[in-house]
Structure 1
Amino acid sequence: MNKRKIIASFILSAVCASTVNFASTKTVSAATARLGGQDRYETSTKISQDGWTTSEYVVLASGQGYADALCAAPIASRHSAPILLTPSNNLDQNVKSEITRLKATHVIEIGGTGSISTNVENELKSMGLSVQRLGGADRYETSVKVAKALGTPNKVVVTSGQGYADALSIAPIAAKQGMEILLTSDMGIPDTVKDYIQDNQSSIVDTYVVGGTAVIPDSTISGLSNPIRISGDDRYETNVNVLDHFKASIDMNNVYIARGGGSAGNEFADALSASALAAKNNSSVVLTDDDINTNANTQKFIEDNVDSSANIVAVGGQASVADSVLEHMELTVIVKSANNRLQAIADSTSDSNEKDAVEQIIDNLNNSISNKLDNADEVLSDFQSNMEKTQQILQKLSDAERTNLQNKINADTTLMQYLDQLNQIAKEYFPTDTE
């Protein structure tokens, strides 16, 4: 049997003793999509087009450096505006066209002239736009300028200004909940930020400190109002812990997947643009890298919290979020959903042999997504091994037990839809038959 047929038949043989022909069904699994352009600037316009028909305000941030841009999401949310990116010295033409499409009349620039030059500002003004700059002498003062523009604080975020991942993990949540994002350094809270906090001490109830002690030492946060630290061993675990902390208030029906790091230093751009859209939809931005398998915490969060009806949206092109990462997330959600239905069957039976068989099948389905999707030999080997184990499990059942189990599975139309979707995805692993 060729590779494609082996893999395509595995899902069916994993739960049925004989061949079952599924009719085409309406997809009930997680839907995947991509918002990406030729570069970070066009990607920001694609995100804007997905979320906004018109917008009076546009927030403009640098696509070349994250320093001033990290605090942009809350002010964008305040004005129900998208975040568009631009090079420092000239207004990107895709962005210019998007501002026109939105029929915007006001632009808020984040950062000083080192982030967005006067050339860009003058071009915006020549378009008849009202331009407001929120920028300070450095990234820390810029975060204070943005915070002051948001009004009296109630809850604030303090996070590192020396890296972008932690700030972007909290950005959509801070934006949705109206929390200012204040930047600090590993040397201590800068005076401008400290003064702002002290001036507003009476109104600040909670301070969310995002990041570990390596970037924000305990000694620097002792004077903050009710400091609540959220951190992890790396940026991905911190991202998951942030989402887990606030998940009761997050709508997981839309999940935006963005690159969380890289060697170029500009990988912040897509997650920054997505933060405004995620806030608008009360959703989350999940950070990932080239291989979700290396981020066990991310995969578990997706498995535990993303339902089968969710839209999983990759932000950026293939270089930012590879298809294999998106496919693995989709498979994780579908397998979890199928296994939940199978577990219900196991829980409803009094036959110990049948219960044991279903629970072993669940384990086998979990194993079916344990390998990298882009490693054909490993995927094939894993599927073959689990198919053999499943057949052994089913052979232990009597004919009556096997028939009874198959009838229960066939009667669960939702489960059958999941299995059909899994089978279709399995076929797509190998677009051509290979002997």
Structure 2
Amino acid sequence: MFCSKPTAAGLAGLCLALMVVGTGLSNLNGALAGVSGYQVQVENLDGGTFEEASCHLNANGCIYPVAGGALPRIGGSDRYHTATLLAGAQFIRAETAIIVGGDCYCDGASACGLAGALKAPVLLTAKDCLPDVAGACLTRLKTSRVIIVGGEEAVASSVEEALHGRGLSVERLGGENRAETAALVARRIREERGLTNRDGGSAIPAFIACGLAEADYLAAGPAAFKYGAPVLFVERDAIPEATREAIGQLGAAGVYIIGGQEVVSVPVERELASLVKVNRRLAGADRYETCATLNRHIFGPSPGGGVVLAGSSRRQLADLLVAAMLGRPVLFAEEPVPPAVSGYLQSAVEGGAGIILVGGELAVSPGLEQAVLRLVEEIRAAGRAGEKGGRSPTGGTSPGTRKKIKLQGLPETVELGVGDIIELPVVVSPRDAIIEVKSGSPVLFQAAAAGKTLVLKGISAGEAEVKITASLGGYRRGEAALRVKVFDKEWCSLDPEGLSELQAEELSFTICDGLPYLAFRDIKRDQKASVIVYRNGKWEYAGDLSFTTGMAYELTLGREHSGTGPLYLAYRDSTFNRLTVMRLAGGAWKIAGEYYFAPESVSNISLAIWNGSPYLAFKDGLSGGGVSVIGCTGGSWEIIGSRGFSAGPVGSVCLAAGGGGALEGAGLAVAFQDGSCDWGATAMMFNREWGGAGSPGISAGEAYSINICWEKDLLYIAYQECLSAGRRATVKRFIDGCWETVGQEGFTSGEAGRIAFQVSGGIPYIAFKDGSCQNKVTVMRFTGDQWETVGAPGFSAGEPDDIFLQVYRGEPVVA
């Protein structure tokens, strides 16, 4: 939203704009209310078969389109494409991504544990060039950091240079051989998980495999990803020194040996047992049986999240590598289906698990798919026969004799904007029933059943149905559906006709108790202060019109950090240049404390409310132009700390209130343009005395349009700074005694002026005059990995003179 300074003829461009959520807006309070959630009761309903699904989506959000009568499949034109499809479907955003060589399976297996620890996707690259599909995936996931696993023999420096060229930070973990690389990755996993030997070892095991047994170490990939556990390599008859050191540093809670004695000998097993506890050896007569044994022990015989099938030839092992991102058991498969595979599938299907294919038809052929479908039908047919007889195929009491599942209480429709992510809590009875998303529309939205929460993200405008299933065992199923409406967000004005009648200057804007308030110097009424409020779809005056004694200057509205009243207004009154604060009470404006006299000496006024009392910060002309803060805590105004406590003259003063807790009582903070530091940004906090928040001169150069605010115990600052690329916006937060940049310094594409800033729900928002959009208003927010534009950039009709930003129930409102 924006405010445009009026011409002599009056306020031609005064406007409020709102990021619309839904339609039929009558007032702000309630217009932005989100979906409160829904309740699911699980009782009694005949369930359909898995093959009836039009698509499947796992517990972390991975969507798999399915043709009728086919198994869910995700597969691209090659291994690189398949990896990006898995990553793009599994991850909505990924600040960090892991990249490995597409032919270096050993590095890929090592990378699985790190990817799990970081919650990051694994992408494949050719040795000398980054595939276009991988680069596009990094852009789509808004990745800012890449970790290459493997030396330059696996991933050449040209790939690293290409990643740097995309503006990504790049780190490489690569040793002289596969064992050293795996040890480096294991050490990094320990660092990410904060594990040290003082902890008595890690809470996770390590997997040990022969470095030449590709099928064995790749079989461990899904478990390594799921638990963020390292994969380390041995030789058949020896333990490399790098592996020995890694085991000692990890202090692992036991290791699993993957593979039989022909690949990891008994002497090596004994030597490992002298270094660390060997939990057991997971092995079988062939790769199929070894893989099934590992899955049965790590994931259990009936994994609720489903089973993944991948091709068994060496060429298709890359599919198995990236399939580890699903964190589900992965089986090698070929036609005819090996007994070990069919045996594990039987227990999984009986337990209600679905089956997912990874790889194209060259990897998992249609013939193999049909063979698996026939096997699944045979298992289910036996289960239905067992239900009729009261016995299951495995000889127990059939779950079909108990109540089946029914889902109730779902809302008919959920609405969200493009780019929005909403979480809807799901209450399940019985509690151990598994919730999954059965179908949806990946073109319009992404959906995920994360535990007992349904997560939706708007992708593009449209409307579609999402189906949700609940299951408990192989025979208790239920299904329900709701409509998801995704709409394009746009900025719209709140009653522009009502605002156009005003003639106003020197504006201030806030939202208090869910209602927007606008204060201004009223040109029509002797330039005294007036305040209007947007209520019931129209603007009306709050309190008396032109209620100040004289002309009002430097108006600033304030309310508690929580967004609740009472509402305060501070200004400089032309009558004897009085600095005055008034409070709206009972529909009338009343003086807070007494007049505070500061003849010709006060400017850059900033108001904050803390624990029900108003505080003012300002440039104090009687103290050499330094910053002073006053507060009205007992009915009268008094200096807080020392007068003029800054090291030198100041400008662009901003006061914030609302901190505390971890900062030992600090509740007031002030930021300003610091003349003693070449006019860079400086912040100070009050805790009995005013002290520095970090070192003076936070910004790289001169800073303007400085904003500071609290979000719980975190202090944030935003400002325009002079960089080599021009005057750009930067946001930082104060953590552990240091200022940490949020995103990148100078993240705006053009010059950023008249900055307004607020943090809501942990998400920083910034509004500014955008030099790349003809100086019109743009709003951005930090999504956890990068800054993104909210709505259209440069949405205002013209160039604003000043900008104010508030965030109400997760939606920005700008004046």
Structure 1 window deviating more from structure 2 (65-74 vs 245-254): it is 245-254
- On the 8 A contact 1:253/1:306 being kept in 2, the answer is no
Structure 1 residues 12-37: Cα deviation after superposition (integer angstroms, max 9, x where no partner): xxxxxxxxxxxxx9842355211111
Alignment of 1:424-435 (within 5 A): none
- On the 8 A contact 2:303/2:351 being kept in 1, the answer is no
Match of 1:368 in 2: none
Match of 1:103 in 2: 142
Which of 217, 232, 255 does residue 182 from structure 1 map onto?
Answer: 232
Match of 2:345 in 1: 302
- After TM superposition, give the deviation of residue 249 of structure 1 in Å: 9.0
- On the 8 A contact 2:117/2:227 being kept in 1, the answer is no
- On the 8 A contact 2:301/2:348 being kept in 1, the answer is no
- On the 8 A contact 1:57/1:79 being kept in 2, the answer is yes
Structure 1 residues 387-406: Cα deviation after superposition (integer angstroms, max 9, x where no partner): xxxxxxxxxxxxxxxxxxxx
What is the identity, as a one-letter code, of the residue corresponding to 1:106? R
Residues in 2 aligned to 1:196 and 1:81: alpha-carbon distance in whole angstroms: 22
- After TM superposition, give the deviation of residue 54 of structure 1 in Å: 1.2
Match of 2:373 in 1: 330
> Could you say what secondary structure the match of 1:213 adopts?
coil
- On the 8 A contact 1:250/1:284 being kept in 2, the answer is no
Which of 181, 185, 194 does residue 146 from structure 1 map onto?
Answer: 185
- On the 8 A contact 1:66/1:266 being kept in 2, the answer is no
Match of 1:286 in 2: 331
- After TM superposition, give the deviation of residue 187 of structure 1 in Å: 3.2
Which of 37, 40, 46 does residue 79 from structure 2 map onto?
Answer: 40
What is the identity, as a one-letter code, of the residue corresponding to 2:120? A
Alignment of 1:239-318 (within 5 A): 239-248=291-300, 251-260=303-312, 262=313, 265-276=314-325, 278-279=326-327, 283-289=328-334, 291-293=335-337, 295-307=338-350, 309-318=352-361
Structure 1 residues 265-318: Cα deviation after superposition (integer angstroms, max 9, x where no partner): 433211111101x22xxx2111112x143x111011101222485432111111
What is the identity, as a one-letter code, of the residue corresponding to 1:330? L
- After TM superposition, give the deviation of residue 143 of structure 1 in Å: 0.3
Structure 1 window deviating more from structure 2 (42-51 vs 171-180): it is 171-180
Residues in 2 aligned to 1:64 and 1:246: alpha-carbon distance in whole angstroms: 27
Which of 127, 144, 147 does residue 166 from structure 2 map onto?
Answer: 127
Residues in 2 aligned to 1:108 and 1:323: alpha-carbon distance in whole angstroms: 36
2:49 maps to 1:28:
yes
- After TM superposition, give the deviation of residue 335 of structure 1 in Å: 2.2
What is the identity, as a one-letter code, of the residue corresponding to 2:259? G
What is the identity, as a one-letter code, of the residue corresponding to 2:163? L
Alignment of 1:153-164 (within 5 A): 154=202, 155-164=205-214
Counterparts in 2 of 1:273 and 1:104: CA distance versus 1, 3 Å: same
> Could you say what secondary structure the match of 2:319 adopts?
helix
RMSD of aligned alpha carbons: 2.2
- After TM superposition, give the deviation of residue 333 of structure 1 in Å: 2.2
Normalising by structure 2, we get a TM-score of: 0.37
Identity percentage of aligned residues? 28
> Could you say what secondary structure the match of 1:58 adopts?
strand
> Could you say what secondary structure the match of 2:271 adopts?
coil
- After TM superposition, give the deviation of residue 250 of structure 1 in Å: 7.2
Structure 1 window deviating more from structure 2 (130-139 vs 183-192): it is 183-192
Counterparts in 2 of 1:345 and 1:143: CA distance versus 1, 3 Å: same
Match of 2:277 in 1: 226
Counterparts in 2 of 1:181 and 1:250: CA distance versus 1, 3 Å: farther
> Could you say what secondary structure the match of 2:347 adopts?
helix
Counterparts in 2 of 1:240 and 1:143: CA distance versus 1, 3 Å: same
- On the 8 A contact 2:173/2:184 being kept in 1, the answer is yes
What is the identity, as a one-letter code, of the residue corresponding to 2:382? N
Counterparts in 2 of 1:176 and 1:208: CA distance versus 1, 3 Å: same
- On the 8 A contact 1:308/1:337 being kept in 2, the answer is no
2:247 maps to 1:197:
yes
Normalising by structure 1, we get a TM-score of: 0.69
Residues in 1 aligned to 2:367 and 2:315: alpha-carbon distance in whole angstroms: 22
Gaps of 5+ in 1: 1-24, 349-413, 418-435
> Could you say what secondary structure the match of 1:150 adopts?
helix
- On the 8 A contact 1:292/1:298 being kept in 2, the answer is no
Structure 1 residues 348-402: Cα deviation after superposition (integer angstroms, max 9, x where no partner): 8xxxxxxxxxxxxxxxxxxxxxxxxxxxxxxxxxxxxxxxxxxxxxxxxxxxxxx
Alignment of 1:269-418 (within 5 A): 269-276=318-325, 278-279=326-327, 283-289=328-334, 291-293=335-337, 295-307=338-350, 309-347=352-390
Structure 1 residues 306-340: Cα deviation after superposition (integer angstroms, max 9, x where no partner): 24854321111111111222222233223212212
Residues in 2 aligned to 1:194 and 1:308: alpha-carbon distance in whole angstroms: 40
2:49 maps to 1:49:
no
> Could you say what secondary structure the match of 2:76 adopts?
coil
Residues in 1 aligned to 2:114 and 2:148: alpha-carbon distance in whole angstroms: 11
Residues in 1 aligned to 2:243 and 2:301: alpha-carbon distance in whole angstroms: 28
Question: Which gives a bigger RCO, structure 1 or 2 (Cα 8 Å, sep 6+)?
Answer: 1
1 or 2, which has the higher helix percentage?
1
Residues in 1 aligned to 2:187 and 2:351: alpha-carbon distance in whole angstroms: 41
- After TM superposition, give the deviation of residue 235 of structure 1 in Å: 0.6
Residues in 2 aligned to 1:258 and 1:101: alpha-carbon distance in whole angstroms: 26
What is the identity, as a one-letter code, of the residue corresponding to 2:307? V
- On the 8 A contact 2:302/2:353 being kept in 1, the answer is no
Counterparts in 2 of 1:345 and 1:27: CA distance versus 1, 3 Å: closer
What is the identity, as a one-letter code, of the residue corresponding to 1:173? A
- On the 8 A contact 1:256/1:284 being kept in 2, the answer is yes
Counterparts in 2 of 1:51 and 1:255: CA distance versus 1, 3 Å: same
What is the identity, as a one-letter code, of the residue corresponding to 1:99? L
What is the identity, as a one-letter code, of the residue corresponding to 2:218? L
What is the identity, as a one-letter code, of the residue corresponding to 1:266? R
> Could you say what secondary structure the match of 2:182 adopts?
helix
Look at both structures and tell me which one has the larger radius of gyration over its CA atoms. Answer: 2
Which of 38, 51, 59 does residue 98 from structure 2 map onto?
Answer: 59
Residues in 1 aligned to 2:369 and 2:304: alpha-carbon distance in whole angstroms: 16
Which of 81, 96, 106 does residue 120 from structure 2 map onto?
Answer: 81
> Could you say what secondary structure the match of 2:106 adopts?
coil
- After TM superposition, give the deviation of residue 232 of structure 1 in Å: 0.6
Residues in 2 aligned to 1:181 and 1:44: alpha-carbon distance in whole angstroms: 20
Number of equivalences: 316
Residues in 2 aligned to 1:179 and 1:26: alpha-carbon distance in whole angstroms: 37
Structure 1 residues 164-185: Cα deviation after superposition (integer angstroms, max 9, x where no partner): 2111212111222232110111
Residues in 2 aligned to 1:249 and 1:108: alpha-carbon distance in whole angstroms: 34
